[in-house]
Amino acid sequence: MSYYSIRAIYLFEMSRTGRTLMQSVVSPVLSTSLYFVVFGSAIGSRMVEIDGVSYGAFIVPGLTMLSLLNQSISNASFGIYMPKFSGTIYELLSAPVSYVEILLGYVGAAATKSMVLGFLILMTAQLFVDYEIVHPFWMVGFLALTAVTFSLFGFILGIWADGFEKLQVVPMMIVTPLTFLGGSFYSIDMLPPFWQKVTLLNPVVYLISAFRWSFFGVADVSVNLSAGMILLFLAACLLLVRWIFKTGYRLRA
């Protein structure tokens, strides 16, 4: 494995952040801040506590996860799609670089940018609501694991997409609705029994539940189950990427 290959791809992708600062950093932080203003400060002051946590603080993990998922997918999908679109992907594939090195470079950069954004959103949230992190080590761990997993998913999406519009379909039409319905603004214990069972089919529930547990020590589902679901999705993405590079799907046109 060549460290220099990984470093070159990683630094190239990280440098793209500076050229798209408004889109990749400022815009997500501002849009999430509006949620904190409306739901955290304005509406949150009139809401009762949920599981002993003030409503403004309760929504912090969910809103952070909403931005983290979308930005992880977006960063990774655009990162690999642009070489496909411009044709430079063939230079990369013909170079003495393994698919593992390509994957580490692109996914590593996307996950890094998403994690930085996640920390910025958490710091911004402190301006609007008061909260404490009960398990900071696990918070960072779940943040990193989610960023890597969904950056890997975004990498797959970028290879699959054959147009710019397809890059937006999954984040806007699938991930965002699942996040809103996955307990970002409420505890699933507040739902009727039937809808609680239906909600457990939503994979994002496990992400938000584990992340919220790291903040407040409360969770809608078992933390071990949540971690297992994330690792299962990560393993599925790794197997799919291995198949893509082995068969050349959407890479060798």
What would the pLDDT profile of 133-153 be if each residue is shown by its tens digit?
999 999 999 999 999 999 999
pLDDT at position 64 is 94
Q: How would you write the chain as a 3-class SS string?
A: CCHHHHHHHHHHHHHHHHHCHHHHHHHHHHHHHHHHHHHHHHHHHHCCCECCECHHHHCHHHHHHHHHHHHHHHHHHHHHHHHHHHCCHHHHHHCCCCHHHHHHHHHHHHHHHHHHHHHHHHHHHCCCCCCCCCCHHHHHHHHHHHHHHHHHHHHHHHHHCCCHHHHHHHHHHHHHHHHHCCCCCCCHHHCCHHHHHHHCCCCHHHHHHHHHHHHHCCCCCCHHHHHHHHHHHHHHHHHHHHHHHHHCCCCCC
Has this prediction a pTM greater than 0.75?
A: yes
Instruction: List residues bridging with 53 in a β-sheet.
Output: 50
pLDDT of residue 42: 66
* Average pLDDT of the residues in 2-26: 83
Q: Where are the domains of the chain?
A: 3-247
Q: What is the pLDDT of residues 18-77, one digit of tens each?
A: 777 777 778 888 888 888 877 766 676 677 788 888 888 899 999 999 999 999 999 999
Average pLDDT over residues 172-182: 90
How far apart CA 76 and CA 220 sit, in angstroms, is 30
**Under 8 Å CB-to-CB from 240, ≥6 apart: which residues?**
156
> pLDDT category, 241, cuts 50, 70, 90?
very high
Instruction: Determine the Cα–Cα distance for residues 121 and 101; give it in Å rounded to an integer.
Output: 30
